[in-house]
Amino acid sequence: MQGLSDSGKNLKEYIEGVFEKYQFPRAKEFIHKDMKEGRCKILLDGFDELATKEKQDKVAENIQKFITEYPKNQIIVTSRVAGYHDELKGFTKLELMEFDDKQMEQFVNNWFGKINAEKAKSMINAIKENEQIKALARNPLMISIIAIIYEEDRKLPQRRAALYNRCIEVLLSKWDIQKKLKNAYPSEKKEYILKKLAFYAHTNNKKILTEKEILKEMVNHFPRVKLKAEDAKPFLDEIWQRSYLLRQISRDSYDFLHMSFQEYFTALELKDQEDELSTIIKYWSLSWWEEPILLYVGINKDATALIKRIKNEVPEDIFHSNLFMFGKSIVDGDSLVIG
């Protein structure tokens, strides 16, 4: 869709240009005939990736003019829900559901194709072996990211912290490189601010944040990443429109793509704190904080210091809650030494 917007052509001219690009001889004659007869299916991807409302309106007008001239063809436009506000009149709006097991397998097989059938089979097995990866892979966007990771690494991380780290790396940088999109703000600054936003949300027991509180919280931390207050809105827009780690769920509210990413960024922020163990002890007994704490252990790869502090400072209850958390912490960490 970005290519159509940047080309300055109408949709008919753009379609003709695509055929010319791939050296299809005398394309215009048969394209015009097929479009008149309604024999074409036109797929336009990424309406939400058009950076401004002005561009979206212009492309929508371009599509509507094409439909007026060639009303018999089928046109499919893809967009994330938050990036589309019924700009295309007369279109039926359908929303993708999460994949079931069969659809996940079909997606992976389609991704790798018949020539890489063994690689597809190997990735499917890797997903099936890890329930946490499987839960993420039900999201159509996330399974795309997981497939990119598998193509690059020839395997999937089995530890949750490692998987989320690779997903974030893809979403903040490599995803845009693959889609040939340029960002105004570097991924390091986005990761820093996302950690602050996640920690703010988690300490306030929130899954959804308003745009107003997001902008305020970002500006509080902008001096550390050398950004100005006027960068706040374009910075936020670039995060949700390009990295997808934040989703715009209404015109004035956002959440993280998946709750596990809020928890992971919260864990990253815990690790960056000078006295993170004191913060963890403060929230130790709260179920809302269990996942960030376990992910912190996974990032840190060692539960020793945390378990020692808990044993010394947090009394055990009748349900042996500390003991159960110790067991989970050992699983998420790579090492444990208790004297």
Instruction: Say what the pLDDT of residue 315 is.
Output: 80
Pairing type for strands 253-256 and 209-210 reads: antiparallel
Angle between helical axes of 276-283 and 259-272 (0-180°, round to 10): 140
Q: Encode the chain (339 residues) as per-residue pLDDT tens digits.
A: 777 887 888 998 898 888 887 777 677 888 888 999 999 999 998 787 675 778 888 999 999 999 999 999 999 998 876 567 788 888 998 887 889 999 999 999 999 998 889 999 999 999 998 887 888 889 887 898 899 889 888 888 878 788 889 989 888 876 666 666 678 899 999 999 999 999 999 999 999 999 999 999 999 999 999 999 999 999 999 898 888 889 888 778 999 988 889 999 999 999 999 899 999 999 988 889 988 998 998 888 777 888 788 888 878 776 666 766 766 665 555 444 444
What is the per-residue pLDDT for 192? Answer: 97
The amino acid sitting at 177 is: I
Q: Would you say 99 and 137 are in contact if contact means Cβ atoms under 8 Å apart? A: yes
Rounded CA-CA distance 136/157 in Å is 13
Structure letter (DSSP) for residue 173: I
Q: What is the CA radius of gyration of the chain?
A: 24
Q: How many angstroms separate the CA atoms of 261 and 75, rounded?
A: 34
pLDDT at position 110, please?
A: 94
DSSP-assigned letters across all residues of 275-334: THHHHHHHHTT-GGGHHHHHHHHHHHTB-HHHHHHHHHHS---TT-HHHHHHHHHHHHSS
The pTM for the full model equals 0.67
Give long-range contacts, CB 8 A cutoff, 24+ apart: 213-218.
214/254, 218/193
Element (H, E) at 148: helix 140-153
pLDDT, residue 229, reads 96
Domains of the chain (ranges; CATH) run: 2-83 (no CATH), 101-158 (no CATH), 187-262 (1.10.10.10), 273-332 (no CATH)
**Residue 131: per-residue pLDDT:** 83
As to burial, measured by CB atoms within 10 angstroms (0-12 exposed, 13-18 middle, 19+ buried), residue 257 is: buried
Measured distance CA(283)–CA(205) in Å, rounded: 12
Predicted local distance difference test score (pLDDT) of residue 285: 84
Contacts of 4 (CB under 8 A, 6+ apart): 11, 14, 44, 59, 62
